[in-house]
Amino acid sequence: MGGHNCGAVKQEKLPGVADKPFYPKRFACFVGRRCRTATLHDVAREWHLDWRTVKELDKPYMREQLRGRGPPGPKIRGVEELALRKGHTYRMVVSDLERRRAL
């Protein structure tokens, strides 16, 4: 028997392949977009996949969508102190001034 076999498994990242190595990135992206309008189980049934596989294919798509949105916290906060009744009873209200809502 010629050659040396060390028995090690080697893995290489390829640019056109998704995190799940058996599926191309375009398919993973399609699954991610499809999961915005259907449940994991529906997409799994449609493509004859296990729902866990669909979930794993959807994760990179969701991460990419969130990455483009920036930090979720408010950029401009407002703090207001309201007197509830005479004396020393106050309520503090913290608001997101851009979205115009109380936090």
* Structural domain count of the chain: 2
Q: What is the model's pLDDT at position 12?
A: 54
Residue 90 pairs in a beta bridge with: 83
pLDDT confidence of 18, banded at 50, 70, 90?
Answer: low
Give the mean model confidence (pLDDT) for residues 48-61.
89
Q: Is 90 within a domain? A: yes
Give the mean model confidence (pLDDT) for residues 24-44.
89
Q: Is 63 within a domain? A: yes
- Beginning with the edge strand found earlier in the chain, give each strand of the sheet holding 89-96 in spatial order: 77-85, 89-96, 101-102
Q: Do 53 and 77 belong together in one domain?
A: no
Neighbours of 73 (CB within 10 A): 8
Residue 64 has pLDDT above 80, yes or no: yes
- Taking alpha carbons only, the member of 58, 7, 73 closest to residue 28 is 58
| Cβ contact 57:94 at 8 Å | no
Q: Which residue has the higher pLDDT, 47 or 21?
A: 47
Q: Do 63 and 96 belong together in one domain?
A: no
Q: What is the model's pLDDT at position 80?
A: 86
